[in-house]
Amino acid sequence: MVQEFIARMNSCGGLWNLVEVYWTQFQPLFVNESKKLTQNCVQQLFNIEWSPTGSNNKDQEEATIYLWEGWLMEIQEAGTDISFEDLLVFVTGADHIPPLGFPHPCTITFYDQEPGSRRIPYASTCSLTISLPRGVEEEQEFNDLMNTARKGSLGFGKV
């Protein structure tokens, strides 16, 4: 089986011969070396879909991102029982970043908190999107919403 694998790899322009010569560059493709995620790594995964500049929504979204970054910092400092890997599972369904990365960047979108109701953040693992609430002003309230959302998501079909 191994010889067949090597022969088929070499049938693609001598790919296996390249792997043997430049094995250190190919190592992440063949060996799972998932490293512990950091706050910086998680922040770089996301693109933010902002409202137009100057709008009330944009101001509220900037406040939400400030709280989001504070929550990520709390995770980094082990101030919560949620890990970055847990967050990644919540948003993408994967517990580590694939060797070649995700097919497209993860996205942060926003929704409005309606007066008198409490909607928790939600994610779509298919589109790699997390939706965060606009208009949350208190750090503890935002942290509670995020922790409730993450802890309440037990996986597909387990609600």
User: How many CB atoms are closer than 10 A to CB 88?
Assistant: 20
Among the options 12, 41, 106, 126, which is catalytic? 126
Does 12 qualify as catalytic in the annotation?
no
> Which contacts of 96-101 are long-range, i.e. CB under 8 A and separated by 24 or more positions?
96/32, 96/34, 96/37, 97/34, 97/37, 97/41, 97/45, 99/28, 99/29, 99/32, 100/29
Beta carbons within 8 Å of 93's beta carbon, 6+ residues apart: 125
Catalytic residues: 126
